[in-house]
Structure 1
Amino acid sequence: MSITDNFERELADLKALHNGWVVANETADVDWLRAHVHPDFVMWNTVGADFYGQSEIILLWLRLREMMAQAGSPRAVSEAWGDDYLISGDLAVVHCHALLKVDFGDGAGAEAGGDLDRKFRCTEVYRRDDGEWKMIHYHGSPHLPGLLGGR
Protein backbone atom coordinates (compact mmCIF):
# COMPACT_ATOMS: atom_id res chain seq x y z
CA MET A 1 0.00 0.00 0.00
CA SER A 2 1.41 3.41 -0.94
CA ILE A 3 1.61 6.42 1.35
CA THR A 4 -1.10 8.08 -0.75
CA ASP A 5 -3.42 5.06 -0.40
CA ASN A 6 -2.84 5.00 3.36
CA PHE A 7 -3.57 8.73 3.66
CA GLU A 8 -6.76 8.39 1.60
CA ARG A 9 -7.92 5.51 3.83
CA GLU A 10 -7.20 7.50 7.01
CA LEU A 11 -8.95 10.55 5.58
CA ALA A 12 -12.00 8.45 4.70
CA ASP A 13 -12.01 6.99 8.24
CA LEU A 14 -11.85 10.46 9.79
CA LYS A 15 -14.57 11.83 7.51
CA ALA A 16 -16.80 8.93 8.58
CA LEU A 17 -16.07 9.68 12.26
CA HIS A 18 -16.77 13.39 11.80
CA ASN A 19 -20.04 12.68 9.98
CA GLY A 20 -20.92 10.13 12.66
CA TRP A 21 -20.38 12.77 15.35
CA VAL A 22 -22.64 15.23 13.53
CA VAL A 23 -25.42 12.63 13.18
CA ALA A 24 -24.97 11.37 16.76
CA ASN A 25 -25.67 14.90 18.00
CA GLU A 26 -29.18 14.72 16.52
CA THR A 27 -30.38 12.03 18.92
CA ALA A 28 -27.73 12.12 21.66
CA ASP A 29 -26.55 8.68 20.50
CA VAL A 30 -24.61 7.36 23.50
CA ASP A 31 -23.80 4.11 21.69
CA TRP A 32 -21.82 6.18 19.18
CA LEU A 33 -19.99 7.82 22.10
CA ARG A 34 -19.13 4.46 23.65
CA ALA A 35 -17.71 3.23 20.35
CA HIS A 36 -15.82 6.32 19.17
CA VAL A 37 -14.93 8.57 22.12
CA HIS A 38 -11.71 7.99 24.05
CA PRO A 39 -12.05 7.32 27.81
CA ASP A 40 -9.89 10.44 28.49
CA PHE A 41 -12.08 12.67 26.30
CA VAL A 42 -12.31 16.39 27.10
CA MET A 43 -15.22 18.48 25.81
CA TRP A 44 -15.42 22.25 25.92
CA ASN A 45 -19.10 22.30 25.12
CA THR A 46 -20.77 24.68 22.71
CA VAL A 47 -22.88 26.22 25.49
CA GLY A 48 -19.84 26.92 27.68
CA ALA A 49 -19.55 23.99 30.11
CA ASP A 50 -16.59 21.58 30.31
CA PHE A 51 -16.87 17.78 30.50
CA TYR A 52 -14.05 15.38 31.31
CA GLY A 53 -14.01 11.72 30.34
CA GLN A 54 -16.22 9.56 28.17
CA SER A 55 -18.48 8.89 31.16
CA GLU A 56 -19.30 12.59 31.67
CA ILE A 57 -20.35 13.16 28.07
CA ILE A 58 -22.46 9.99 28.15
CA LEU A 59 -24.23 11.29 31.26
CA LEU A 60 -24.67 14.69 29.58
CA TRP A 61 -26.21 13.15 26.46
CA LEU A 62 -28.50 10.87 28.48
CA ARG A 63 -29.72 13.95 30.32
CA LEU A 64 -30.17 15.95 27.10
CA ARG A 65 -31.99 13.04 25.48
CA GLU A 66 -34.39 12.93 28.44
CA MET A 67 -34.96 16.70 28.23
CA MET A 68 -35.65 16.45 24.49
CA ALA A 69 -38.10 13.60 25.06
CA GLN A 70 -39.93 15.57 27.75
CA ALA A 71 -40.23 18.45 25.27
CA GLY A 72 -41.58 16.08 22.60
CA SER A 73 -38.48 16.58 20.44
CA PRO A 74 -36.92 13.20 19.65
CA ARG A 75 -34.21 14.75 17.44
CA ALA A 76 -32.17 17.86 17.11
CA VAL A 77 -30.97 19.39 13.87
CA SER A 78 -27.22 18.97 13.55
CA GLU A 79 -25.36 20.11 10.45
CA ALA A 80 -21.73 20.81 9.63
CA TRP A 81 -19.98 22.40 6.66
CA GLY A 82 -16.58 23.63 5.60
CA ASP A 83 -14.81 20.75 7.27
CA ASP A 84 -11.05 20.52 6.94
CA TYR A 85 -8.74 17.71 8.06
CA LEU A 86 -5.18 17.62 9.32
CA ILE A 87 -3.55 14.24 9.94
CA SER A 88 -0.12 13.97 11.55
CA GLY A 89 1.00 10.59 12.82
CA ASP A 90 -1.42 9.37 15.48
CA LEU A 91 -3.25 12.70 15.85
CA ALA A 92 -5.85 14.26 13.58
CA VAL A 93 -7.76 17.53 13.77
CA VAL A 94 -11.07 18.32 12.10
CA HIS A 95 -12.44 21.84 12.14
CA CYS A 96 -15.68 23.11 10.67
CA HIS A 97 -18.68 25.34 11.14
CA ALA A 98 -21.86 23.82 12.46
CA LEU A 99 -25.47 24.42 13.37
CA LEU A 100 -27.29 22.85 16.29
CA LYS A 101 -31.01 23.34 16.86
CA VAL A 102 -32.64 21.66 19.85
CA ASP A 103 -36.04 22.22 21.48
CA PHE A 104 -35.61 21.53 25.19
CA GLY A 105 -39.10 22.81 25.97
CA ASP A 106 -40.12 24.68 29.10
CA GLY A 107 -39.06 23.71 32.59
CA ALA A 108 -36.15 21.30 32.28
CA GLY A 109 -34.95 23.10 29.18
CA ALA A 110 -34.37 26.29 31.13
CA GLU A 111 -31.18 24.82 32.61
CA ALA A 112 -29.83 24.29 29.10
CA GLY A 113 -30.96 27.76 28.06
CA GLY A 114 -34.35 26.70 26.63
CA ASP A 115 -34.31 26.27 22.89
CA LEU A 116 -30.92 26.17 21.24
CA ASP A 117 -30.50 27.47 17.70
CA ARG A 118 -26.86 28.34 17.27
CA LYS A 119 -24.16 28.42 14.63
CA PHE A 120 -20.74 27.69 16.00
CA ARG A 121 -17.17 26.76 15.18
CA CYS A 122 -15.95 23.39 16.25
CA THR A 123 -12.72 21.50 16.52
CA GLU A 124 -12.54 17.74 16.91
CA VAL A 125 -9.26 16.05 17.84
CA TYR A 126 -8.80 12.33 17.22
CA ARG A 127 -6.01 10.10 18.52
CA ARG A 128 -5.15 6.72 17.10
CA ASP A 129 -4.68 4.03 19.75
CA ASP A 130 -3.97 0.44 18.70
CA GLY A 131 -4.83 1.34 15.10
CA GLU A 132 -8.24 2.85 15.91
CA TRP A 133 -9.15 6.55 15.82
CA LYS A 134 -11.01 7.84 18.90
CA MET A 135 -12.20 11.39 19.58
CA ILE A 136 -10.07 12.76 22.41
CA HIS A 137 -11.18 16.41 22.41
CA TYR A 138 -14.05 18.57 21.19
CA HIS A 139 -14.35 22.34 21.39
CA GLY A 140 -17.36 24.32 20.22
CA SER A 141 -17.71 28.10 20.42
CA PRO A 142 -20.17 30.64 19.01
CA HIS A 143 -19.56 31.92 15.49
CA LEU A 144 -19.78 35.71 15.38
CA PRO A 145 -18.77 36.71 11.84
CA GLY A 146 -17.77 40.33 11.37
CA LEU A 147 -16.61 40.78 14.96
CA LEU A 148 -13.36 42.79 14.88
CA GLY A 149 -13.17 42.27 11.12
CA GLY A 150 -13.17 38.46 11.27
CA ARG A 151 -15.08 36.16 8.95
Structure 2
Amino acid sequence: MSNAVDRGQVEEVNAEFYAAFEEGDYDRMSAVWADGPYASGVSCVHPGWAMLRGRDEVLRSWALIMANTGYIQFVLTDVQTSVYGDQAVITCNENILTAEEGTDSGFLAGGSIVSTNVFVRYDGEWRLLLHHGSPILNGTEEE
Protein backbone atom coordinates (compact mmCIF):
# COMPACT_ATOMS: atom_id res chain seq x y z
CA MET A 1 0.00 0.00 0.00
CA SER A 2 1.37 3.39 -0.86
CA ASN A 3 2.15 6.06 1.68
CA ALA A 4 -0.41 8.37 0.01
CA VAL A 5 -3.13 5.73 0.48
CA ASP A 6 -2.11 5.23 4.11
CA ARG A 7 -2.16 9.00 4.71
CA GLY A 8 -5.64 9.23 3.22
CA GLN A 9 -6.91 6.39 5.41
CA VAL A 10 -5.41 7.88 8.57
CA GLU A 11 -6.89 11.28 7.72
CA GLU A 12 -10.33 9.64 7.29
CA VAL A 13 -10.10 8.13 10.80
CA ASN A 14 -8.94 11.49 12.16
CA ALA A 15 -11.95 13.19 10.52
CA GLU A 16 -14.23 10.52 12.02
CA PHE A 17 -12.80 11.26 15.49
CA TYR A 18 -13.81 14.92 15.22
CA ALA A 19 -17.18 14.10 13.59
CA ALA A 20 -18.00 11.68 16.43
CA PHE A 21 -17.21 14.41 18.96
CA GLU A 22 -19.26 17.03 17.12
CA GLU A 23 -22.23 14.65 16.93
CA GLY A 24 -21.82 13.46 20.53
CA ASP A 25 -21.90 9.88 19.24
CA TYR A 26 -20.29 7.55 21.77
CA ASP A 27 -20.47 4.48 19.51
CA ARG A 28 -18.65 6.28 16.70
CA MET A 29 -16.09 7.63 19.18
CA SER A 30 -15.53 4.16 20.59
CA ALA A 31 -14.99 2.70 17.11
CA VAL A 32 -12.18 5.19 16.41
CA TRP A 33 -10.02 4.21 19.40
CA ALA A 34 -7.56 1.31 19.41
CA ASP A 35 -8.47 -1.87 21.25
CA GLY A 36 -7.25 -5.47 21.45
CA PRO A 37 -3.54 -5.57 22.31
CA TYR A 38 -3.41 -1.75 22.20
CA ALA A 39 -6.26 -1.13 24.70
CA SER A 40 -3.99 -0.65 27.71
CA GLY A 41 -1.78 1.78 25.75
CA VAL A 42 -4.63 4.08 24.73
CA SER A 43 -3.93 7.53 26.20
CA CYS A 44 -5.58 10.92 26.14
CA VAL A 45 -4.80 14.39 27.47
CA HIS A 46 -7.75 16.74 27.31
CA PRO A 47 -6.76 20.42 27.64
CA GLY A 48 -6.14 21.11 31.32
CA TRP A 49 -6.61 17.48 32.39
CA ALA A 50 -4.16 14.93 33.73
CA MET A 51 -3.10 12.04 31.49
CA LEU A 52 -5.77 9.36 31.08
CA ARG A 53 -4.54 5.83 30.38
CA GLY A 54 -6.33 2.75 29.12
CA ARG A 55 -9.17 2.46 26.63
CA ASP A 56 -11.91 2.22 29.28
CA GLU A 57 -10.76 5.33 31.19
CA VAL A 58 -10.35 7.33 27.97
CA LEU A 59 -13.79 6.36 26.66
CA ARG A 60 -15.41 7.19 30.02
CA SER A 61 -13.93 10.69 29.71
CA TRP A 62 -15.40 11.10 26.22
CA ALA A 63 -18.82 9.94 27.42
CA LEU A 64 -18.69 12.56 30.20
CA ILE A 65 -17.49 15.34 27.88
CA MET A 66 -20.02 14.58 25.15
CA ALA A 67 -22.88 14.36 27.67
CA ASN A 68 -22.01 17.88 28.85
CA THR A 69 -21.34 19.53 25.47
CA GLY A 70 -24.33 21.16 23.80
CA TYR A 71 -22.76 22.25 20.53
CA ILE A 72 -19.20 22.02 19.32
CA GLN A 73 -17.66 22.52 15.90
CA PHE A 74 -14.04 22.01 14.85
CA VAL A 75 -12.23 23.75 12.03
CA LEU A 76 -8.86 22.06 11.65
CA THR A 77 -5.91 24.06 10.32
CA ASP A 78 -2.21 23.38 9.79
CA VAL A 79 -2.91 19.64 9.47
CA GLN A 80 0.29 17.61 9.04
CA THR A 81 0.14 13.83 8.48
CA SER A 82 3.12 11.48 8.70
CA VAL A 83 3.00 7.70 8.29
CA TYR A 84 5.74 5.41 9.62
CA GLY A 85 4.82 1.84 8.68
CA ASP A 86 2.00 0.83 11.00
CA GLN A 87 2.11 4.07 13.01
CA ALA A 88 0.98 7.53 11.99
CA VAL A 89 0.95 11.00 13.53
CA ILE A 90 -1.37 13.88 12.73
CA THR A 91 -0.71 17.30 14.22
CA CYS A 92 -3.13 20.17 13.78
CA ASN A 93 -4.74 23.22 15.28
CA GLU A 94 -8.30 22.67 16.45
CA ASN A 95 -10.22 25.92 16.07
CA ILE A 96 -13.31 25.37 18.21
CA LEU A 97 -16.71 27.03 18.35
CA THR A 98 -19.11 26.12 21.14
CA ALA A 99 -22.58 27.29 22.08
CA GLU A 100 -25.00 26.56 24.84
CA GLU A 101 -28.28 25.06 23.68
CA GLY A 102 -31.42 27.10 24.18
CA THR A 103 -29.77 30.51 24.26
CA ASP A 104 -30.31 33.46 21.95
CA SER A 105 -26.73 34.61 22.22
CA GLY A 106 -25.38 32.24 19.56
CA PHE A 107 -21.77 31.19 19.85
CA LEU A 108 -20.60 31.66 23.38
CA ALA A 109 -17.00 30.58 23.15
CA GLY A 110 -14.21 29.92 20.76
CA GLY A 111 -10.68 28.80 21.24
CA SER A 112 -7.73 27.03 19.75
CA ILE A 113 -6.08 23.80 20.74
CA VAL A 114 -2.88 22.36 19.33
CA SER A 115 -3.41 18.64 18.94
CA THR A 116 -1.35 15.52 18.34
CA ASN A 117 -3.14 12.33 17.31
CA VAL A 118 -1.17 9.08 17.08
CA PHE A 119 -2.61 6.13 15.20
CA VAL A 120 -1.72 2.44 14.90
CA ARG A 121 -2.70 0.00 12.19
CA TYR A 122 -4.01 -3.26 13.63
CA ASP A 123 -5.67 -5.99 11.55
CA GLY A 124 -5.51 -3.64 8.56
CA GLU A 125 -7.45 -0.82 10.27
CA TRP A 126 -6.10 2.51 11.49
CA ARG A 127 -7.17 3.34 15.06
CA LEU A 128 -6.43 6.22 17.41
CA LEU A 129 -3.92 5.37 20.15
CA LEU A 130 -3.19 8.80 21.62
CA HIS A 131 -4.90 12.19 21.55
CA HIS A 132 -3.14 15.10 23.23
CA GLY A 133 -4.70 18.56 23.14
CA SER A 134 -3.13 21.68 24.63
CA PRO A 135 -4.70 25.14 24.61
CA ILE A 136 -3.11 27.88 22.57
CA LEU A 137 -3.05 30.95 24.75
CA ASN A 138 -3.69 34.32 23.12
CA GLY A 139 -0.56 35.90 21.78
CA THR A 140 1.61 32.80 21.96
CA GLU A 141 0.91 31.41 18.49
CA GLU A 142 3.64 32.06 15.94
CA GLU A 143 2.67 34.56 13.30
- Interval of TM-score (by shorter of Structure 1 and Structure 2): 0.7 to 0.9
Q: Deviation at 1:87?
A: 0.5
Normalization by structure 2: what TM-score? 0.78
Gaps of 5+ in 1: 106-114
Measured in 1, the distance between the counterparts of 2:93 and 2:84 equals 22
Q: Is residue 125–residue 135 contact of structure 1 (8 Å, CA) maintained in 2?
A: yes
CA RMSD for the aligned pairs? Answer: 2.3
2:118 matched residue in structure 1: 125
CA shift, 1:48, in A, is 2.8
Matched, 1:7 2:3: yes
Alpha-carbon separation, structure 1, partners of 2:3 and 2:77: 22
Greater C-alpha radius of gyration = 1
Runs of 4+ in 1 over 3 A off after TM superposition: 101-105, 144-147
Q: Is the 8 A contact 2:72 2:99 kept in 1?
A: yes
Q: CA deviation at 1:126?
A: 0.4
Structure 2 unaligned spans of 5+: 102-107
The separation in 2 between residues aligned to 1:53 and 1:121, in whole angstroms, is 22
Q: State the shift of 1:53 in Å.
A: 1.9
Q: Which has the higher helix share?
A: 1
Is the Cα contact below 8 Å between 1:25 and 1:78 reproduced in 2? Answer: no
| Distance change in 2, residues 1:131/1:21 (3 Å) | same
In structure 1, how many angstroms separate the alpha carbons of the residues matched to 2:20 and 2:75?
A: 11
- Report the CA distance shift for 1:53/1:59 in structure 2 as closer, same or farther (over 3 A): same
* 2:62 aligned partner: 61
Which residue in 1 is equivalent to 2:83? 87
Q: Percentage identity across aligned positions? A: 20
Task: Show the 5 A alignment for 1:110-149.
Answer: 117-144=110-137, 146-147=139-140
State how far apart, in whole Å, the 2-side matches of 1:49 and 1:103 are.
25
2:29 maps to 1:28:
no
**Per-residue CA distance 1:1-60 (angstroms, 9 max, x = gap):** xxxx62222111011111111212213322122212012310011233322122222212
Distance 1:135 1:10 in 2: 14
